Every structure is written in C-alpha cells, then in structure tokens.
Amino acid sequence: MVNIAGLDHLVLTVADIEATAGFYERLGMRREMFDGDRVALHFGQQKINLHQVGSEFEPHAEWPGPGSADFCLLVAGSIEQVLRELSSAGIPAELGPVDRTGRATPASIRVRPRS
C-alpha cells in the first residue's frame, strides 16, 4: 500500500493572481516568485502555487477554472515503488515520473482519482 507521508503543495487556479496573493498576504502568508514569473504563497512548512486561469502550467487540473485546485502528496518510498503499487491496484499514472518544482521533492507522478 502507498504510504502517504504528507502534503507537498496545493495548486489553486485563480482569475486574478494579484488579488488572490494580496488576500492571502493579508492573512499572513508570504509571497514568493519562482521559476521566473510563477507565484507561490508560503505559510509555515506549507506552500500554495497560483495558476492564472487560461495560462496554467502543466500538469494542471483536468478542467482548470477559477476556484479549481489540485495537490501534490509526499510518499514514503521510491517513485518506482509507488508506480508498482498503483499499477497493481489498477491505477495508471497519467504522467511521470517528471521533474517538478515542489516544496520538498523535485520528482512527481500524476494520477487522477476515480469517481
């Protein structure tokens, strides 16, 4: 079984990055620019990346729109082990492993929950 160790980061797709960042800064979060022009909000050990609707970074939510979100989890063990366990459970990886700019790890895979 995959061992979820924690939350790496959350991604919010928003209509207005400046308004959103300003709102969260008033709540005490710290804005950080990364990868050139991307915006993240930090609080404690957590991070929220902001995507501008219509200009989302890959990978992103299947139907990104204002208010949609996706998140990246940290797992114990190697990505190869996670891929094997997901495959044996019938859950295909849609993407990855790929290099990503996360909070704690540079590599990720993408899976979509089944409804």
Is 44's pLDDT higher than 80? Answer: yes
List, for residues 70-84, the tens digit of each pLDDT value: 888 888 888 888 888
Q: Give the type of residue at 62.
A: E
Could you tell me the pTM of the whole model?
A: 0.75
Q: Does domain 3-110 have CATH number 2.40.50.320?
A: no
Peptide bond into 59 cis (omega under 30): yes
What tens digit of pLDDT does each residue of 3-22 get? Answer: 888 888 888 999 999 999 99
| Residue ranges of domains in the chain | 3-110
How many other CB atoms are found less than 10 A from the CB of residue 31?
Answer: 15
The model's confidence at residue 27, banded by pLDDT at 50, 70 and 90, is very high
What's the mean per-residue pLDDT of the chain? 81
- pLDDT of 54 strictly over 80: no
